[in-house]
Chains A and B, each alone.
Chain A
Amino acid sequence: MKAVCWQGIHEVAVEDVPEPHLVNPRDAIIKVTSSAICGSDLHLYDGYIPLVYRGDILGHEFMGEVVEVGSAVTNLAVGDRVVVPFPIACGSCYFCSRELYSLCENSNPNAHLAEKLWGHSPAGLFGYSHLLGGYAGGQAQYVRVPFADIGPVKVPDALTDEQVLFLSDIFPTGYMAAENCNIRAGDTVAVWGCGPVGQFAIKSAFLLGAERVIAIDRFPERLAMAQRSGAHTLHYEEVDVLEALREMTGGRGPDSCIDAVGMEAHMPGANGMYDKVKTTLRMETDRPGVLRQAISACRNGGTLSVAGVYGGLIDKVPFGAVVNRSITIKTGQTHVHHYTRPLLERINRGDIDPSFVVTHRIGIDEVPQAYDMFRNKQDGCIKVVVQPWA
């Protein structure tokens, strides 16, 4: 089968690899009908995530048709059309029973590696670092899905792939980011980053009752999309973001701030330069410019919700501001399984059509160029959907 394999920094290739097979009784094999390139795939592409090896199959946003099920999978049948959450969760451990699925204790076969870096291990993920299991991902024609009785969600035929595909990651991720803000009537929510997760965070903040959303980015097409969702926009290279946010909120600051950027933030001025030098010299693993700015911007007693991915060590984060101004920080890899069904219901009801975010549709052979285009934000690229059989 064809699969997108990591080759090294800024290089992926489509390779012919063997098809996956059932290994455990709770596995299923999915024939992928649609897959997507995620912003966090770019962290792998840019070499910011450790323990990715040449030959690893990428991709953690995918859906398709069930073609084989293990002996213990009774809720799925061959032919079912399903969307698969990106974290792999057993459904029965301490964390799964509390619906904190991305912290599953039983799905990361390399838990000992994650424990060394992070103290404890989270769940295994598809198509990511070997720290998180090194599971083969969904930018391929077939995928083996472990714990298939828990993860995959059946979707109605009336909805197109593009309407439901993003239940695998970015819709729940944006939604959880907004939910973590504990939005109340009249609230202002500021969202850094108008990539796909930022776009869903904006939509979700409105769905959850925010009065005003302020979206921050520098790419006109992304700001325009945010505007179409009803957000006020700030171009961070043209205005002083902190000053503008103070002015728009009567000097108080936004009630909640969402960091939908993560470890590779571009920031103007000394803030950005500092991290550029330090990450280049390998003295810091991530560039936390947005995190610093969002902490400074957030109102006293407000919430900072971090949806962007961070991998390692950051510095010069103003923690004094967090403590002295009683800021709550909420974050985490998305507990996708908790959100898939209620969000599918919202799509069904017509509250939201997630396909608004798609700008490019390609076949699997075009994926290597698409990574480059997505990384460099060329051709107005916001979200790329891959059809592995096209």
Chain B
Amino acid sequence: MAIALQRVRDASESAARALKGLPVKNVDHVLAWYGVANAVGSALKRRMRKKAARLPPSGGSREVVAVVAGVTALAVGAYAVRRHYLRKHAMDQAERGQLQASTSLAIQATPRSLYDLLTNPQRLSEIMEGVELMDASTQGASRWRVRSGGEYDVHIADDAPGSLVGWRIIGASAEAYRATVSIEGTDGGHGARVRVQVEPDRSGNGHASVADAVELQAALKAMAPAIAKQLRRLKQFVETGEIATTRGQPVGRRSMIGKLLARGDS
């Protein structure tokens, strides 16, 4: 038993040494090794194909073809079934009026002060990232430019001072969204629960087609992280008076991949 344990220990230590021996220090090296492994793999495959071409077809190769065809058919089938259910899900959600992106955060502030901030476009523009306030001259209406492209007209559509504010957002190509922030006060110093919900504004346009529903669902899913980020910025601003960031801080030489990854930092 002791000898067997010693053997396992030796094997694990030599495996650990072998892995440590590889000059893998950071992500660049992993990619480089992946490239080398890929090139070697492709060369081996080419050699095997050349070898196979010189041999007469055998029963074995027919079996391989059958297995590959079977697996492909299964994969295509699984994809079709998944697609069907995704489309059905999107359509069901559209019919129930549940196509939406939503997020919620507890903020240490009174519902009224949050409401006042949310209905003040100038102050909101200091907090929100990636958007610029173009005009807020009319009561309850404002115009915003999204830095990544597009301008939107925003009107307050629902208003319950201290607990809810909803906007109708209309883009240049007439696509419209409805964004609602509901604020619920809590007891015991737990802060106010703030929930943001963005949904397509379908007023006057009837039900979405299947293609529309799938597209809208994808658009809302893509929007969700940005909505969460804006709400977090609001929380930070309200609770601390500033937005936490590491932008502009000193850093040593980054690797190529590190540069890309660190770009996601806030």
Contact = CB atoms under 8 A, between A and B. Distances in A.
Nearest to B258: A53
A97 interface: yes
B92 interface: no
B246 A135 contact: yes
Interface string A26-62: 1000000000000000000000000101111100000
A103 B157 CA distance: 37
A136 B159 CA distance: 44
A284 interface: no
Contact of A7 (B26, B189, B261, B266): B26
Interface string B243-266: 111111111111100100110111
Interface string A68-90: 00001000000000000000101
Which of B19, B24, B251, B255 has the largest count of A CB atoms less than 10 A from its CB? B251
A90 B240 contact: yes
Given A92-B108, A270-B5, A56 B252 contact: yes
A111 interface: yes
Contacts of A144: 249
Contacts of B232: 111-112
Contacts of B235: 105-106
Which of A26, A53, A270, A276 has the largest count of B CB atoms less than 10 A from its CB? A53
A280 B17 CA distance: 10
B9 interface: yes
A72 B251 contact: no
Nearest to A6: B252
A280 B264 CA distance: 29
A300 interface: no
Contacts of B16: 276, 280
A62 to B, nearest CB: 14
A94 B189 contact: yes
How big is chain A's contact interface, by range? 35 or more
A277 B15 contact: yes
A5 B266 CA distance: 20
Interface in B162-191: 189-191
B110 interface: no
A3 B189 contact: no
B10 to A, nearest CB: 10
Interface stretch (A16-24, A239-247, A333-341): A16-24
Contacts of A3: 250, 252
Nearest to B19: A280
Interface residues of B, number: 46
B265 to A, nearest CB: 5
Given A17-B250, A277-B15, A8 B25 contact: yes
A9 B242 contact: no
B252 to A, nearest CB: 3
A352 interface: no
A146 to B, nearest CB: 7
A111 B265 CA distance: 10
Contact of A276 (B12, B190, B239, B254): B12
Interface in A337-353: none
A56 B251 contact: yes
Contacts of A91: 240
A259 B260 CA distance: 37
Contacts of A180: none
Nearest to B266: A109
Contacts of A20: 249-250
A122 interface: no
Interface in B224-241: 225, 228-229, 232, 235-236, 239-241
A248 interface: no
B248 A23 contact: yes
B124 interface: no
A94 B15 contact: no
Nearest to B18: A280
Contact of B244 (A5, A19, A109): A109
A147 B229 CA distance: 20
B252 A57 contact: yes
A20 B249 CA distance: 6
Interface string A95-126: 00100000001111111100000000000100
A162 interface: no
A112 B254 contact: no
A308 interface: no
B265 A54 contact: no
A91 B235 CA distance: 14
B47 interface: no
Which of A5, A26, A92, A93 has the largest count of B CB atoms less than 10 A from its CB? A93
Contact of B106 (A9, A94, A109): A94
28 contacts: A5-B253, A6-B252, A9-B26, A15-B253, A20-B250, A24-B243, A24-B245, A53-B26, A54-B252, A54-B253, A54-B258, A56-B252, A57-B250, A57-B252, A93-B108, A94-B106, A94-B108, A97-B108, A106-B235, A106-B244, A109-B245, A130-B265, A133-B244, A134-B246, A273-B12, A277-B12, A280-B19, A281-B15
Interface of B: 5, 8-9, 12-13, 15-16, 19, 24-26, 29, 106, 108, 189-191, 225, 228-229, 232, 235-236, 239-255, 258, 261-262, 264-266
Given A90-B236, A94-B190, 17 more contacts: A5-B251, A6-B252, A17-B250, A53-B262, A54-B255, A55-B251, A55-B258, A56-B251, A72-B242, A93-B239, A106-B236, A106-B240, A109-B266, A110-B265, A136-B251, A273-B9, A280-B15
